[in-house]
Amino acid sequence: MAAPLSAAYRLDGANVSLVVEIIAEVPAVRYWGPRLPDDLDPAELSALAARAEANASPAYEAPLALTPQAGQGFPGRPGLTAHRGGLDWASYALLVDVEQAADRLVFTSRDDAHGLELVHDLQLSGDVLAATTRLTNIGAEALQVDHLAAPVIPLPGFVGQIIGFEGRWSGEFQLRRQDLGMGTWLHENRRGRTSHDAFPGLLATERDANETRGLAFGFHLGWSGNHRLSVETLADGRRSVAMEALFMPGEISLAPGESLTTPAIFATVSDAGLGAVSRHYHAFLRARPEHQRLRAKPRPVHYNSWEAVYFDHDPQVLMALAEKAAAVGVERFVLDDGWFGSRRSDRAGLGDWQVSPDVYPQGLGPLIDKVRALGMEFGLWVEPEMVNPDSDLFRAHPEWVLGTPPAPQIPFRHQLVLDFGRPEVRERMYADVATLLEEYPIAYLKWDMNRDLSQPGGADGRAGATAHVLGLYEVLDRLRASYPAVEIESCASGGGRADFGILARTDRVWTSDSNDALDRLSIQRGFSHFFPAELMGAHVGPTRCHITGRVLSMPLRVATALFGHMGIEADLRALDAEETADLAAGVALHKAHRDLIHTGALHRIDAAEGVNAFAVMAEDGGEALVSYTMLTEQRGYFAEPLRLAGLNPAAEYDLKAVWPLRLKAEWPLKQGGRFRGAALMQAGFHPPRLHPGTAVILHLKR
């Protein structure tokens, strides 16, 4: 037992403060916002928050606790719904213990009457709070858990707008801003993977906050499965954010003594707008121990075979592509789908992770040798959670798939999901992948996942969606432990599995299957709200985009891909000499600046409609890259001046256009110039008049 309980507990980051107050014997967030003065007494906050009794209302308000509880009469959605066959539903856990460290608070509450214990673990790293709730069954019989939220975080009433994320395959991370009223904003995901359409993140702002101004909050759930995100506004004016893994009926039952811990909610806040919120997240991810391996060397430029050859693998063609890739500066060659079993189309072969002897009679050795002789690393595509019914694995183990018989399985890319909740499935898939890693010098796995868990029934007839995700995490963790040098990419038909949970065990995300440079700008902008550039797979696609049919210039395709973990995904044999030269120059430009791109601070710019602009600033303010893309024809003769952000106002910067190689537009600043940071930020400058679908990249050096 720690020190006697006090009334309030506080954690501070450089820019944020958290105050948890014990109200009616339960822990509740009293303040979560921009940093408070060191000497501010939390008692002031509770005095200021005091409210009188309202008409036709309870005499006092049941607390909006870290877990709001039914047993306390909370009028909104509780943080926990659990019961024993309909009994013990009105949880009433009261605080019994607090542990406090400089950056961490752990609150333990117990409810002996209903046999449950709650532990709220709140850890502040940098300016990001990571918080989990753990529920333990301390009763004598099993406890059914319908839902359990990570610690619930209140929003001030004046934070009335939220930005949710929506999207689809090849159109991920799209923002939608909405005003809140009374009631609940709700995003549920039942696709079994993080999903393209319900990314588990949300932003909340005071009215009219933008990239550089206003109070803005960020929330994200680090979980790669079904989830529920809600923002509830009660009639009494209290507003809160709750995030949780979503459970199917009966999916979670805790035996006596058993515990369940929620995925973490990752929260941050700033009074300097949405840009600062993103930078908090980026700094947090960059500081995580699992991210450090990415720091060991520059992120290698990729070549990916998918859009060049699809399933039509021919080692000679792939070797020719490898030569062309090396010639434009590629550093890692990734062999995509189609190399194994009977996988000559998406109708067969998933599950049989042996190199196809028909296509590669000598195995992958000759191709890998060639790739390595060209100075590149070798990467390989796998999709271990899936099986085609037309595969040796399925014929041997039809019982290994998730399903809800007698209902037929919803067809989805001719494949079914292996139940990673089963130990024998995990063991087999670990062994199959490990065999490949033992046999070949593979530096990188593209771990794909191409269907929803539409009917996630396990072998015992119970729902197994949660167990599948936990099983996947276990296999990935085991592979990471056994093969620490192998990098892993999280792909799920593009960006369908991007979250802090999967990123604790993978090294980048395949952001989207869309390589359309203009669509990519908004996808990447959405992605950037939570994730830094070095985790964002971004490829230069073919001349005519295979997904949108749009023809966009090589300079634009380069300008878009250059700001992520850059790669190329096109048939290099089909590019003309000018495109090839531009591509090689673009790769060289990326390499020249990738350290800045992969460590710098991102400043998205609130540009006029029809323009996408952002800057990446070196940590010490010494240099920056500015990206400016014209999306549509501008309204007037000239676009709005562009104001930069994040520069040192007193410093002088040399401004120079570094891309495209041939800037056709007339522009007084074409030859560059020297300007004060304050002038560039407060007055801004006139960008060149660009055609729609063209971009410039500027470099600033102090």
Which residues contact ligand GLA (rule: CB under 6 A)? 306, 336-337, 381, 448, 450, 491, 493-494, 510, 513
Q: Find, among 620, 537, 15, 622, the residue nearest to 267 by Cα.
A: 15
If the CB atoms of residues 152 and 491 are measured against ligand GLA, the closer one turns out to be 491
CB of 425 to ligand GLA, least distance (A): 21
Separation of alpha carbons 162 and 175, rounded Å: 10
Angle between helices 365-373 and 315-327 in degrees, nearest 10 = 10
If the CB atoms of residues 273 and 494 are measured against ligand GLA, the closer one turns out to be 494
DSSP 639: P
On the CB side of 602, CA atoms within 13 Å amount to: 29
Separation of alpha carbons 123 and 151, rounded Å: 11
Residue 305 CA: distances (Å) to CA of 255, 332, 352, 566, 609: 49, 11, 20, 14, 36
Residue type, 186: L
Residues in CB range of 161: below 8 A, 6 or more apart: 177, 178, 179, 180, 204, 205, 206, 207, 209
If the CB atoms of residues 180 and 491 are measured against ligand GLA, the closer one turns out to be 491
Sign of CA dihedral 646, 647, 648, 650: negative
Residues in CB range of 239: below 8 A, 6 or more apart: 154, 155, 156, 157, 159, 180, 231, 232, 233
Separation of alpha carbons 279 and 529, rounded Å: 8
Beta bridge partners of 659: 697
If the CB atoms of residues 244 and 337 are measured against ligand GLA, the closer one turns out to be 337
Beta bridge partners of 270: 216
Strands 673-676 and 652-659: antiparallel
Q: Find, among 94, 59, 28, 56, the residue nearest to 240 by Cα.
A: 28
Ranked by CB distance to ligand GLA, the top (closest) residue is: 337
Angle between helices 577-599 and 554-561 in degrees, nearest 10 = 20
If the CB atoms of residues 488 and 491 are measured against ligand GLA, the closer one turns out to be 491
CB of 311 to ligand GLA, least distance (A): 8
CB of 368 to ligand GLA, least distance (A): 19
Residue from 336, 352, 448, 507 carrying the catalytic annotation: 448
CB of 383 to ligand GLA, least distance (A): 7
If the CB atoms of residues 360 and 381 are measured against ligand GLA, the closer one turns out to be 381
CB of 591 to ligand GLA, least distance (A): 24
Catalytic annotation present for 513: yes
Separation of alpha carbons 680 and 668, rounded Å: 15
Q: Are 271 and 19 in contact (CB under 8 A)?
A: no
CB of 495 to ligand GLA, least distance (A): 9
Q: Are 569 and 321 in contact (CB under 8 A)?
A: no
| CA 653 distance to own-chain centroid | 34
If the CB atoms of residues 489 and 579 are measured against ligand GLA, the closer one turns out to be 489
Q: At 302, give phi and psi (nearest 5°).
A: -95, 155
If the CB atoms of residues 174 and 345 are measured against ligand GLA, the closer one turns out to be 345
If the CB atoms of residues 306 and 360 are measured against ligand GLA, the closer one turns out to be 306
Q: Find, among 591, 583, 562, the residue nearest to 324 by Cα.
A: 583
CB of 53 to ligand GLA, least distance (A): 57
If the CB atoms of residues 273 and 349 are measured against ligand GLA, the closer one turns out to be 349
* Residue located via tokens 């604790």: 504
Q: Are 235 and 182 in contact (CB under 8 A)?
A: yes
DSSP 398: G
Residue from 513, 516, 519, 582 carrying the catalytic annotation: 513
Strands 116-125 and 128-137: antiparallel
If the CB atoms of residues 154 and 338 are measured against ligand GLA, the closer one turns out to be 338
If the CB atoms of residues 117 and 337 are measured against ligand GLA, the closer one turns out to be 337
CB of 515 to ligand GLA, least distance (A): 10
Q: Are 174 and 108 in contact (CB under 8 A)?
A: no
The helix or strand, by DSSP H or E, that contains position 378, with its residue range, turns out to be strand 377-382
Where does residue 170 fall: left (phi above 0), alpha (psi -120 to 50 degrees), or beta otherwise? left
Residue 150 CA: distances (Å) to CA of 67, 320, 321: 8, 51, 48
In whole angstroms, how large is the CA radius of gyration of the chain?
A: 26
If the CB atoms of residues 151 and 495 are measured against ligand GLA, the closer one turns out to be 495
Measured from the Cβ of residue 340, the count of other Cβ atoms closer than 10 Å reads 25
Strands 116-125 and 104-111: antiparallel
CB of 351 to ligand GLA, least distance (A): 14
Q: Find, among 8, 14, 34, the residue nearest to 124 by Cα.
A: 14
Q: Are 647 and 667 in contact (CB under 8 A)?
A: no
The strand order across the sheet containing 239-245 reads 153-155, 239-245, 227-233, 183-189
Give catalytic residues, as residue numbers: 448, 513
